[in-house]
Each structure stands twice: as structure tokens, then as C-alpha cells.
Chains A and B, each alone.
Chain A
Amino acid sequence: MNVLVYLVPAALLLGLAGLIAFLWTLRSGQYEDLDGAALRILSDDDLEGRTR
């Protein structure tokens, strides 16, 4: 059972990392415009100037 000593903290830390990542995305407004994000990814404006 000694394996628990690092497995349990590892599981908790991973979960906590996920939670913090979610709170960060929420704070930076990434859920404000879900439909827009789906469309913006199709636009390739950002490639102009680099490829040409």
C-alpha cells in the first residue's frame, strides 16, 4: 500500500490542475462567444503575409 503515498497526491494534483485550467479559461472570457470560436477557426487570415 506504500504506493498510495505518491499515487493519491498525484491524482489530486492532476485534478487540481484541471480545475485551475478551467477557472483560468473562465476568467479570460473563453466561454463568452462559443459560436464565434467555432467559425473563427475556419478563417485563415492569420496566414496571409506569412505564406505570400
Chain B
Amino acid sequence: MSEAVDFSTFIERKADGTAHIALAVEGIGCAGCIRKIEGGLTKLPGIVDARVNFTQRRLAVDWRDGAIDPARIVSELERIGYRAHPFAPERAEASETQHTKWLLKCLAVAGFAAMNVMLLSISVWSGDVSDMTSDTRDLFHWLSALIALPAAAYAGQPFFQSAFKALRARHTNMDLPISIGVILALGLSLYETATHAAHVYFDSAIMLLFFLLCGRYLEQAMRRKTRLFAGNLASHKAAFAHRLDGNGELTQVPVAALHPGDRVLVRPGALIAADGAILTGASEIDESLVTGETVPRAVHAGDFVYAGSTNLAGALTMRVVAAGGGTLVDEVERLLRKATEAKSRTVRLADRAARFYAPVVHATAALTALGWLIAGASVHDAVVTAIAVLIITCPCALALAIPAVQVVAAGQLFRSSVILNSGDAIERLAEVDTVVFDKTGTLTLPDPEVDTSTIDPDLLERAARLALSSHHPLAAALARQVRLRAPYASAVEEPGRGVRALIDGKEARLGSAAFCGIDAHTAAVSAPAGTSFIAFAHDGQVARIIIGQAPRPDAVAVVQALQARGLDLIILSGDRPDAVAAVAAQLGVQQWMASLTPAEKIAVIELLKSKGRRVLMVGDGLNDAPALAAAHVSLSPITAAHLAQTHADALFLGERLTPVLRAVEVTRRARALIKQNLVLTVIYNACAVPIAVAGLVTPLIAAVAMSGSSILVTLNALRARLSVAPPQLAGEAAQPPAQAEPLANATMEPTR
């Protein structure tokens, strides 16, 4: 490639004269890959260090600045068989990583303190029934205080900070009763130690922090993992654009580095990288990813085109426009803002529980103190009993009940090729009763397929071999049918028209109808709805090869399975009615609407919502993005437009539609387990609170009850892992779903 590549936005230069780049690498799958990549790169001159992170499928390279062109690193990786994509970590990801580390530090400190305080506490408990003197007990209590107080001050920060933030915003969250419980337990224990009392609660307070931090850390690790993975996928998709500089030179730049006003060359077959107006050239563009319309649109100088469309025929130069002067993009953005605002009003289950829990617990404690005072107990005894109630009801199990299940369910979804974008998507997916599908690219495969049923195989082979020499996207679909991957040596591509070559001494042509000598009008009339065709002429034979959107291979089975589970299915498409009707009939979906604008899609979803339906929207196009944001919960295939991906709650990988079904099943099961866990914690409190109110709680009972309930809830969550077998769909027996290692599979996904 003679064209220069500009990586400068991704390179980080350090003070010691080295430069650093992070790359997301596709296809790392085994130990050999690590050696091959690191060994191959360190052989290059100027490379200081190359380190593969296998978990994250990323590569960090350092080199002496100026000694080597970073483009050479990428091309060397390509040569040894890996596609690498420069990668700029989002700020959100960096702060997630920071937060994960902080939680882990807190967890380590709490764990250390819990072990040592427990060591002392067990000595005291056994000393109570044997011959320990009260002086020794006091010494042990002081030692516990020495360990527990600084440790709690450090490890409790995540809870104290969050509770303080909630208080300042004048509402409560789960961290408020936690913080109050921990601080009161520590304060009471310190007072009791100073007054030589027998019972202190240092162990309970610090163990509580340890268990809670386990839950927090697991939740955070899950969020970070999906974030990292989504970041990798985004970089795989991030396209390069060909920028025309002032002096007419072409530079390859990452799309992120394009500015309004830049001139960009779009070659035939390439994706249009930014919204803009065409300056020169005429072509046909495929806007199926943007509007859902499957029939190409003819464009000329002055027309507006959207990012995500594919240029089909001739080369175009265009000027990048910042705000998207087109009506569609403006409209989509306006609708998105509204839809996202509406969605943030849904309240998470955990927060609903917290809103109910905190006042009840605090009222119980206050009533306990009051009751004992009225019954004639001393102020000291009444307060001690009230604090014991707070300690024993501290929502340890409740705080673990939901995240533990979510972490297990997210892991299962991950293995079923579903990646969550937002943590509470599991809750919302489980509530779904209506599924709205987009057609193009969602129910159908994102890439067009050749209809092979009516063509002579020998002719198809010749046409497909000829198609290998073409850059046209429709020809690419045809070229996938080829058995012998050997292009004809004499093939010549005429941009915008087709390819011709000499086969067995006679000229063969593949391309537009006119190029092959067919009357374009009669050829188009008999083509089925929603399809395109390529003409092929050779040795007096003329054929039309029909290329159209094929449904995903398991679409019919998934649709039936979803209907069998009592879900209502609706197709909302921007495509023409006859094309939508054909797919709906094929899949057995009764309700469908066609030719919808983004606003109309939202209107339909709002109507469903007003009837009390919980809508799952599955869509991939730019025109689906507002509907995705407006729906109760949303899913997108990984091939979706960037805007749709960022607004979907979860993404699914691969050619199959099964992940949609799996998502519904796994989350429904997760919701059942969450409910069980909440019931378990209620039972625990129903047993423990009367004991605490009666003033019978000793530190030993508190410790056993608290860790017992936490472990019970966690074990119950792990059941989600044991019992869900992948669903067997009708009509597919042998093919195992992509269970093995979705990370490895995903990184090998073809990118466009």
C-alpha cells in the first residue's frame, strides 16, 4: 500500500523518547499466538517491548520514537496472520479499571482485618467458657479495635462515600443502612471495650464489610469485562477513511480523526465513514443499515449521504459535515435524547428494595430502644439492644442477593454470545412480554446471499470465479459461492459497470444488465421483492443471478420458540411492504408494519408501552437507534450501526438468532433466583430480628447468622449455573451453539 496511514491519534509519546500504542488484535486463541506475536514484533528494529494481554485480546507495543513507522507494526502483524486495530481506551474504561483496583484493595484490607479479628474473637469466645481472665479479654478487645478501626475506615470508603452522596442528594440507598450499621457497631464496641464489657462486635462489622465488598467487586468485575470486550469490538469496526489533503494526496486516517470540512474519497465497495455531501461522482449506495431499505439509492453530486451506508458502484468524493445537515440524522438525534430521558426513570429492583428496607429497619431499631426503656431497662441496655438490631439486619444478604445472581447470569449470557452493555439489563430482559424485531440485518443476515436454486451450478461457478475480481459488494456475495478460489487472469474491472474476462477463449461479462446486454427494464420487473441481481453473460448464455436478504439460519425456529414461551412478536421495518410481508410470512409472524420512519417506530413502541406491555426491541439500523432507546430493553446484532450499538442494552454475536432466545431464558431464570434470594433474606430477618429485639444477640450469634445468610444466598445464585441447558431448537439437532469461548470466536468475526 503506497498510501500513508495516520495513526497519530492513537500514539502516546513518553518523556524517555519511546512511543506506545495499544492494539486490539483479532484471532488470538492459544499460547502459540502470544509467542508468535511477541517474537515476531520484537525482531523488528526499534521495538522496545511488545506484550500481549491474552485476557483482553490486546497488545501493547513500545518503540523508540521515530525508529519505526507504527503502520509497519500493523502490517507485520497482518503478515503473521493477525488483524490489529489501533485502540484508544475510552475514558469510561480507564475509570472502571481504576475503580476495580480500588475495590480489590479495599477487599484485601477487609479480608486481612476479618481474619485477624476473627482469630482474636474465637479466642475470646472459647475463653468465655474456659479460664480466660477479664484482663486478657480486654487486651484482646483492644487489639481487635486496633485492627478493625483503621481497616474499616479504609475498606468502608466505597459504602460511606456512596451513602454520603445519596444523603446530599436527599434520598436513601442501600449503602446508608450499611454505613450506619457498621459505624454504630464499631462505636458501640469501642465504648464497651473501654468499659470492660464482655460483648464487642468488631468481628461482625469487619466481616460484614468483607462480604459486601466481595459482592461489589464481583459486580464491578462483570461490568469491566463487558466494557473491555465492547471496546475491542468497537475498535474492530472502527473504519479508516481516505482523506484527500490539500495537495491532492491521499492519507488513510481513522474515522475518529475526521473533521468537518475534510474531503474524503469513498471507493466502490467501501463503507461511507461519515455523514456528508457528495462533491463529485455518481453512484448507487446501499442504505440498508441506515434506513432498512434494501433497494440501492442512486446518488449524485450535491446529495447527502449517511455514515454506515455502503458505496456500491462508482468512486465518490464527499465533504464531511459536522452536525449532519440531513433531516434523518437530526431527527434520530432529537428522538434519541427524548427516549433516553424517559428510560432513566425506571427504578432498579435493588433500589426499590433499599427504599423500602432502610426506613423499616431504622424504625424497628428505634422502637426496640423505646420498648426496652418503657419496660424499665437502663438507657445503656436499651441502646445496646437497638444497635444489635441494626447490626443483625444490616442488609448483607440483601446486598448480595441481586449482584450474585446477575454476575452468574451475565457469565452465562457471555457464553451464549450475548454481551451486556448495561448492568440492569438482566432485570429488564426478564420482564419482557413483547418482542419487536427490525427486519433488515436483524431477522435477515446482514450480508446478502445468492439464490442458488435456479442457476446451473457450472454457470454459477464461472460467474463466482469472475466475481472474485470485483470490488462490488453484491459480487462479494457471489464470490462466497466459489469452489475454486482462483480468479481469472484476464479479468478487468470496469468501475460502475462490471467485470469482464476471457474464459475458454470467449468473453464473459458480469455486472449490470446493460453491461451484459440484457434489457434492464424487463430484467428488473421479474425479480422478487427486496432483491437485487447481477447479470452474467458468457458464450451466448445469459443469466440473472438473484441476490437478496436471507433470513438468519435459525430464525424460524427462534420465532416459534419465542411464541411458544408466550411472547408477542411484531416486525417493524423501514423497508417496503412487499419485502416485509414476504419475510413475515416465511417466519410465521402475524403482526408487521412496513415503511416506518424512526418516529413512527417509537410511536408504535410507545403505544405498546401505554397498553402496559414490556417491549424488547431487537434492531440494528441507524433508524432503529431511537426505538432501541425507547423500548423497555433492547438487543442489537454486533454488525449493527454504531449508534444502534451504543443504545442497545446488549449485543449478540454471530449469524444466528438463538442468542435472543437464550437472553430471554437466562434472564427469566435469573429473575426467579433473585426473587428466591429476596425471600431467603426476608426469612432470615424474620428469624433474626425477634432474637435481636429480645436482646439475646451475642457477638457469636451475629457472626454466624450474618455469614450463614450471605453464603446461603451466594450458593443459591450459583444454581443458575448448574441447571440451564442450552435450548434445543426444532429443526437443528447436531449443530452445537457457539458455547466454547465467545471471546475467541468473536475476535475472528469477519469485519466489514
A-side residues, CB < 8 A to B, are: 1, 4, 8, 11-12, 15-16, 18-19, 22-23, 26, 31-36, 39-40, 42-43, 45
CB distance from A31 to the nearest CB of B (A): 8
Supplied contacts A12-B116, A16-B112, A36-B54, 17 more A-B pairs, CB within 8 Å: A1-B133, A4-B139, A8-B143, A11-B119, A15-B116, A19-B112, A23-B105, A23-B108, A26-B101, A26-B104, A31-B104, A32-B56, A33-B54, A36-B52, A40-B34, A42-B31, A45-B39
A39-B34 in contact (CB<8A):
yes
The answer for the CA separation of A16 and B105 in the assembled complex, in Å, is: 14
Return chain B residues, CB-CB under 8 Å to A43: 31, 34-35
B633 interface contact, C-beta 8 A: no
The answer for the CA separation of A32 and B55 in the assembled complex, in Å, is: 8
Return chain A residues, CB-CB under 8 Å to B115: 15
B108-A22 in contact (CB<8A):
yes
Given that A11-B119, A26-B108 are known contacts, is A34 also in contact with B55, CB under 8 Å in the complex?
yes
B136 interface contact, C-beta 8 A: yes
Return chain B residues, CB-CB under 8 Å to A32: 53, 55-56
The answer for the CA separation of A34 and B101 in the assembled complex, in Å, is: 15
B365 interface contact, C-beta 8 A: no
The answer for the CA separation of A42 and B34 in the assembled complex, in Å, is: 11
Return chain A residues, CB-CB under 8 Å to B139: 4
B1 interface contact, C-beta 8 A: no
Interface string of B40-63 (1 = CB under 8 A from A): 000000000000111110000000
For the complex of A and B, list the 6 residue pairs with the smallest distance between their C-beta atoms, beginning with the closest: A36-B54, A39-B31, A19-B112, A35-B55, A33-B53, A33-B55
B109 interface contact, C-beta 8 A: yes
B30 interface contact, C-beta 8 A: yes
CB distance from B258 to the nearest CB of A (A): 32
Across the two chains, which residue of chain A brings its CB closest to B115? A15
Return chain B residues, CB-CB under 8 Å to A31: 104
Q: Which of B31, B55, B112 contacts A15 (CB 8 A)?
A: B112
B147 interface contact, C-beta 8 A: yes
Interface string of B139-161 (1 = CB under 8 A from A): 10001000100000000000000
The answer for the CA separation of A4 and B31 in the assembled complex, in Å, is: 51
CB distance from A16 to the nearest CB of B (A): 7
Given that A26-B108, A45-B35 are known contacts, is A1 also in contact with B136, CB under 8 Å in the complex?
yes
Across the two chains, which residue of chain A brings its CB closest to B133? A1
Return chain B residues, CB-CB under 8 Å to A4: 136, 139
The answer for the CA separation of A33 and B109 in the assembled complex, in Å, is: 22
The answer for the CA separation of A42 and B101 in the assembled complex, in Å, is: 28
Return chain A residues, CB-CB under 8 Å to B54: 33, 35-36, 39
Return chain A residues, CB-CB under 8 Å to B55: 32-36
B31-A40 in contact (CB<8A):
yes
The answer for the CA separation of A8 and B116 in the assembled complex, in Å, is: 10
Across the two chains, which residue of chain A brings its CB closest to B120? A8
In the complex, how many residue pairs between chain A and chain B have their CB atoms under 8 Å apart? 53
Return chain A residues, CB-CB under 8 Å to B105: 23, 26
Given that A19-B108, A26-B104, A26-B105 are known contacts, is A11 also in contact with B53, CB under 8 Å in the complex?
no
Question: Considering the complex, which residues of chain B in the window 23-45 have a beta carbon less than 8 Å from any beta carbon of chain A?
Answer: 30-31, 34-35, 39
CB distance from A2 to the nearest CB of B (A): 11
Q: Which of B34, B119, B133 contacts A36 (CB 8 A)?
A: B34
Across the two chains, which residue of chain B brings its CB closest to A31? B104
Report how many residues on chain B are interfacial, defined by Cβ distance under 8 Å. Answer: 24
Which residue of A26, A33, A34 has the most chain B CB atoms within 10 A of its CB atom? A33
Across the two chains, which residue of chain B brings its CB closest to A21? B108
Return chain A residues, CB-CB under 8 Å to B34: 36, 39-40, 43
The answer for the CA separation of A10 and B101 in the assembled complex, in Å, is: 29
Across the two chains, which residue of chain A brings its CB closest to B135? A1
A18-B39 in contact (CB<8A):
no
Q: Which of B56, B116, B133, B143 contacts A33 (CB 8 A)?
A: B56
The answer for the CA separation of A42 and B348 in the assembled complex, in Å, is: 45
Q: Which of A1, A16, A39 contacts B30 (CB 8 A)?
A: A39
Interface string of B85-126 (1 = CB under 8 A from A): 000000000000000010011001100100110010000000
The answer for the CA separation of A43 and B139 in the assembled complex, in Å, is: 53
A-B contact pairs, 9 of them (CB 8 A): A4-B139, A8-B143, A16-B112, A22-B108, A23-B108, A33-B53, A33-B56, A39-B34, A43-B35
CB distance from B688 to the nearest CB of A (A): 30
B53-A36 in contact (CB<8A):
yes
Return chain A residues, CB-CB under 8 Å to B119: 11
The answer for the CA separation of A27 and B212 in the assembled complex, in Å, is: 23
CB distance from B51 to the nearest CB of A (A): 9
Return chain B residues, CB-CB under 8 Å to A18: 112
CB distance from B16 to the nearest CB of A (A): 19
The answer for the CA separation of A16 and B471 in the assembled complex, in Å, is: 65
The answer for the CA separation of A22 and B532 in the assembled complex, in Å, is: 62
The answer for the CA separation of A22 and B31 in the assembled complex, in Å, is: 27
The answer for the CA separation of A44 and B286 in the assembled complex, in Å, is: 51
The answer for the CA separation of A32 and B101 in the assembled complex, in Å, is: 10
Return chain A residues, CB-CB under 8 Å to B108: 19, 22-23, 26
Which residue of A11, A31, A35, A36 has the most chain B CB atoms within 10 A of its CB atom? A36
Across the two chains, which residue of chain B brings its CB closest to A45? B35
The answer for the CA separation of A8 and B142 in the assembled complex, in Å, is: 12
The answer for the CA separation of A33 and B228 in the assembled complex, in Å, is: 13
The answer for the CA separation of A1 and B127 in the assembled complex, in Å, is: 12
CB distance from A23 to the nearest CB of B (A): 6
The answer for the CA separation of A18 and B109 in the assembled complex, in Å, is: 10
CB distance from A15 to the nearest CB of B (A): 5
CB distance from B618 to the nearest CB of A (A): 31
Across the two chains, which residue of chain A brings its CB closest to B100? A31
The answer for the CA separation of A45 and B56 in the assembled complex, in Å, is: 23
CB distance from A38 to the nearest CB of B (A): 8
The answer for the CA separation of A4 and B119 in the assembled complex, in Å, is: 13
Return chain B residues, CB-CB under 8 Å to A16: 112
Interface string of B496-527 (1 = CB under 8 A from A): 00000000000000000000000000000000
Return chain A residues, CB-CB under 8 Å to B39: 45
The answer for the CA separation of A36 and B35 in the assembled complex, in Å, is: 11
Return chain B residues, CB-CB under 8 Å to A8: 143
CB distance from B104 to the nearest CB of A (A): 6
Across the two chains, which residue of chain B brings its CB closest to A39? B31
CB distance from B141 to the nearest CB of A (A): 13
Across the two chains, which residue of chain B brings its CB closest to A18? B112
Across the two chains, which residue of chain A brings its CB closest to B33? A39
Return chain A residues, CB-CB under 8 Å to B136: 1, 4
Which residue of A19, A32, A42, A45 has the most chain B CB atoms within 10 A of its CB atom? A19
Return chain A residues, CB-CB under 8 Å to B147: 12
The answer for the CA separation of A32 and B51 in the assembled complex, in Å, is: 12
Across the two chains, which residue of chain A brings its CB closest to B741? A35
Return chain B residues, CB-CB under 8 Å to A22: 108
Across the two chains, which residue of chain B brings its CB closest to A36? B54
The answer for the CA separation of A16 and B133 in the assembled complex, in Å, is: 28
The answer for the CA separation of A46 and B143 in the assembled complex, in Å, is: 48
CB distance from B30 to the nearest CB of A (A): 7
The answer for the CA separation of A12 and B492 in the assembled complex, in Å, is: 80
Return chain A residues, CB-CB under 8 Å to B53: 32-33, 36
